[in-house]
Structure 1
Amino acid sequence: MTSPGRLRERVTIEAPQRAGDGAGGWTIAWSQVATVWADVISFKGTELAEADRLEAREPFRVVIRHRGDVKSDMRLTWRGRVLDIRGAFDPDGRRRWLAIDCEERGR
């Protein structure tokens, strides 16, 4: 899948923290879970028409050392960019690597 020498980028894993807003709703704040070394692979971006406007979406695959706490409601930050996690999987089933499929929106 990858080699340790390819983990050259720093990414931060963030988890959502929901808090009541006092008016019956809630707001989301993001808390840092960990900053890890990663191999970040960019794929060709697309533009989709959404709500009568074009929205850019750029897909990424981020490979890190295996962790069991990465969930699809989390996000990654990398070089000032926010990447929404779409899914994470163990590519070889040996719990060495975690491949995270992400998407950056609105760039």
Structure 2
Amino acid sequence: MMGPVHLTRPLVLEVPDRQPDGAGGFIEAWLPRGTLWAEVTARTGREVAGAAVSLSRATFRITVRAAPQDSPARPKPGQRLRDGSRLFLIQSVTERDAAGRFLTCWAEEEVVL
């Protein structure tokens, strides 16, 4: 049995938007879709060597209230959740409980050291 869910942290759901760069290519911008109240739980973390810098990568379990499959308020892989300057890239989304009241977003945060 799972414990109670404490949705105490407001996170902004952001979606990627490709916009023309004026030179035949595209730039990726992020558009806010709305605020979701969440429970954020750290899972694992590690240090990774990047091309020119060291990176810290951590995974998180983020629980939010469920929304229908076609709702713009339902998080999807490839979107991200923002908490101020912190960014959580959503890797996958699953139902947390059999009743479908909550969703679990498995997300990753990457920080340059």
TM value normalised by structure 2? 0.83
2:7 equivalent in structure 1:
7
1:31 equivalent in structure 2:
31
- Corresponding residue SS for 1:22: coil
Question: Structure 2: any 5+ residue segments left out of the alignment?
Answer: none
How far 1:93 moved relative to its partner?
3.4
RMSD across aligned C-alpha pairs, in angstroms? 1.7
Q: Assess, with a 3 A threshold, how the Cα gap between structure 1 residues 2 and 9 changes in structure 2: closer, same or farther.
A: farther
2:81 equivalent in structure 1:
76
Task: Verify: 1:94 aligned to 2:99, yes or no.
Answer: yes
Report the residue type matching 2:54 in the other structure: L
Question: Structure 1: any 5+ residue segments left out of the alignment?
Answer: none
Alignment: residue pair count:
106
- Which string of whole-angstrom CA distances, capped at 9 and with x for unpartnered residues, describes residues 5-24 of structure 1? x1111111100111011111
d(CA) in 2 for partners of 1:46, 1:2 = 28
**Between the two proteins, what is the percent identity of the paired residues?**
32
2:45 equivalent in structure 1:
45
d(CA) in 1 for partners of 2:14, 2:39 = 17
Report the residue type matching 1:87 in the other structure: S
d(CA) in 1 for partners of 2:24, 2:51 = 27
How far 1:57 moved relative to its partner?
0.4
1:106 equivalent in structure 2:
111
- Which string of whole-angstrom CA distances, capped at 9 and with x for unpartnered residues, describes residues 16-68 of structure 1? 11101111110111111110111011123211223364211011111000023
d(CA) in 2 for partners of 1:52, 1:19 = 28
